[in-house]
Structure 1
Amino acid sequence: MTTTLELSGGRVLADRMDGTPTMASPSWWGADTVRLRGRLDDVAVHVRCYTGAARSYVNVSAAVAATEAAGAAGIGPAVVSWDVDAGEVVLADLTETHRTATLADGNSADFVRRYFEIRSRVGELTPNEARYATVFDDIRELSARLQDAGAAVPAELPFFLRVLDDAEKRIAAAGFDREFRHGDGNLSNVMVARDDASLLLLDWDLAAVMDPFQDLGVALVELAEDETHARELFEVAHGSVDEALLARSLFYGYADHVRQGLLGILVDALDPGSYEYSKFGDWQLLRARLALSGTRSGELLRRIDR
């Protein structure tokens, strides 16, 4: 479907990009935005328009600032124009020059090395505006909003929150640095250049000033098949294995499962029938159950502040 958008940078004649029919899978098709491809002053562009539900939980101003800073640094696609009030961002269209990364890319040692390198480079960015929030802060906010909305939550949620509260206290007791980071470990937010396999990061909605090991943790739980694999990946990213920091990183990743799961429930309550969110949220909550209910989780928890 072709439509015309009046943006701050000019008029865009664009075609809407729709996903495939919903299916049960651990992913979602950009349900937080309406996406269009078109041309602005003869430049091929990709337009992201945040939905009303997404604008209720995304700090659009901070997300746009992070997107612009990443584009200027060559870490993300170039930003052509934006309108924060309208919730619209116009990016360079990468459709013909890049592909979306998949879990299969995680089998490549070269990809993994370059992926951790570009995530580390985010710490050099100085966006004009940035969130200051941990994954635990986000979980508290989502939990409060779900309670206000009267939404049905998993029976295990109180258990999840108790365990994560313990983890947060142990991390705080051990102390941590704060840096600006991307914060989203989904590989679908990574673009791979078709010519030289260079990488770009997309979707800066979770970007914030945070513990760098939180950013590492969300990447580890996406890539790693098990704890042994996570240890190997941690060494690639960090240069050596520190058991306390590995445990911290993994618990950050487990907390992200809960955050993403609660987000799926919230958006399903705000926009009923948004199956893209609910199926992904269910998958993330399943991963949270597996991670936090196992016997190993207690040992990892105690290792954080040893």
Structure 2
Amino acid sequence: MSRFDMELAQVRAAVGAVPGWEGREIVAEPALPVLASPSWRGVDGSPWRAVDRASGDSLFVKIMDPDAALYIDVACAFAAACRAAELGIGPAVHSADAATGVLVMQDLNQGWRVGTLERLLDPALFDRVAAARRRFQEGPPLPRTVGVFDEIERFHAAAKAADAELPPDADWLLAELRLAGEAVRGLDVETVPIHGDGNVSNIMVSDAGEARLIDWDRATNADPLEDLGSLLVEAFDQEPEALDAFVRWTGRLDERAFNRTRLYGIADDLRWGLIGALVAAKSPRRTLEFYKFASWRFVRCRMAVREPRFGEMVRRLG
């Protein structure tokens, strides 16, 4: 049996187990193209859409790829998705089986569109996204606690062990971010549940202007500013715009907290570069451009670390 047929069988079984969907005749097909570069979209798990042939009702099914074990805690990710659904900031979850890696959710299809960099420039939308993330941060701890600086150590070691292709300056980048991490660890920083992924395609926007957060695979307990840093590095590459967004999010101008936020974003670029290189080395999915994605994140990290402002950010944290 082909992988497609095996996943199709999983989709049918999972949808048939959802209350109210028993015995329905469904049409199931891949929901969107899987794309590693430039957006890492649909890479963590195969996305499927199951449509009831009679009513047109649909469900979204995500089947985690075996590669996800390289960098995702599936149990924590599914727990975070369920909590987001309960809070009304993520799609409703109908079933979440971490053992099989199958997640069945509300299908944000008709009347919804994927977030983009341009859409996030709308202050009203940004405020709704910020409010959703802050609401998630107010909840009880998740089953996983790890910060970005610890993860870059882990993924660097894993990439080295896998003989992954890394840029010549990877060790230097790690050393520079290690200094930043040591500076941050010297601060008294709170730890809260965070979404953990700044990819703007993980924001869904309704025709009415509502915002929902999807893809909770990077969720963890960490500094709330780490959540903001991963978003700013993706959405606002110029410092004035990033500072404006920081003030909208936090409600105040705090240079030292802003420096910490920016350092988290720079470290996030290194983390994703290392993840991309690791998956490129170990994944059997050779058709996806994992290393192309990694190269871009390495380039942006390198540009930030080489800026004189980087040293100033590290010095001006406490």
TM-score (norm 1): 0.92
1:28 deviates by: 2.8
1:39 deviates by: 4.1
| 2:32–2:42 contact (8 Å) kept in structure 1 | no
What is residue 173 of structure 1 aligned with on the other side?
A: 186
1:125 deviates by: 3.0
**Is 2:102 the partner of 1:70?**
no
1:260 deviates by: 0.6
1:103 deviates by: 0.2
Which of these residues, 168, 178, 191, is aligned with residue 204 of structure 2?
Answer: 191
1:76 deviates by: 0.4
What is residue 248 of structure 1 aligned with on the other side?
A: 260
Across the aligned residues of Structure 1 and Structure 2, the Cα RMSD in angstroms comes to 2.1
The separation in 1 between residues aligned to 2:88 and 2:70, in whole angstroms, is: 29
What is residue 139 of structure 1 aligned with on the other side?
A: 152
1:290 deviates by: 0.8
1:59 deviates by: 0.6
What is residue 29 of structure 2 aligned with on the other side?
A: 15
Give percent identity, aligned residues only: 34
| 1:264–1:280 contact (8 Å) kept in structure 2 | yes
The separation in 1 between residues aligned to 2:32 and 2:60, in whole angstroms, is: 13
Which of these residues, 261, 283, 291, is aligned with residue 278 of structure 1?
Answer: 291
Which of these residues, 47, 52, 59, is aligned with residue 61 of structure 2?
Answer: 47
Matches for 1:24-173 after TM superposition, within 5 Å: 26-39=38-51, 43-126=57-140, 129-173=142-186
Which of these residues, 4, 9, 17, is aligned with residue 4 of structure 1?
Answer: 9
- Please give the per-residue CA displacement for 1:224-256, whole angstroms capped at 9, x wherever unaligned: 131122111111111111111100000000000
1:13 deviates by: 4.8
Amino acid at match of 2:144: R
Amino acid at match of 2:148: V
| 1:28–1:276 contact (8 Å) kept in structure 2 | no
**Is 2:257 the partner of 1:233?**
no
Distance 1:274 1:287, change over 3 A: farther
1:184 deviates by: 0.6
Amino acid at match of 1:117: A
| 1:80–1:92 contact (8 Å) kept in structure 2 | yes
Amino acid at match of 1:198: E
| 1:100–1:190 contact (8 Å) kept in structure 2 | yes
- Please give the per-residue CA displacement for 1:158-208, whole angstroms capped at 9, x wherever unaligned: 1111111111111121220111111111100000012x2111001111111
The separation in 2 between residues aligned to 1:125 and 1:88, in whole angstroms, is: 24
Unaligned 5+ segments in structure 1 are none
1:278 deviates by: 2.3
Amino acid at match of 1:26: P
**Is 2:303 the partner of 1:290?**
yes
| 2:87–2:136 contact (8 Å) kept in structure 1 | no
Which of these residues, 241, 263, 283, is aligned with residue 275 of structure 2?
Answer: 263
The separation in 2 between residues aligned to 1:276 and 1:134, in whole angstroms, is: 26
What secondary structure, in the 3-state scheme, does the structure 1 residue paired with 2:145 have? coil
Amino acid at match of 1:78: A
Unaligned 5+ segments in structure 2 are none
The separation in 1 between residues aligned to 2:105 and 2:167, in whole angstroms, is: 38
The separation in 1 between residues aligned to 2:52 and 2:137, in whole angstroms, is: 31
TM-score (norm 2): 0.88
1:56 deviates by: 3.1
What secondary structure, in the 3-state scheme, does the structure 1 residue paired with 2:204 have? strand
Moved over 2 A (4+): 1-5, 7-13, 39-43, 124-127, 274-279
Amino acid at match of 1:224: F
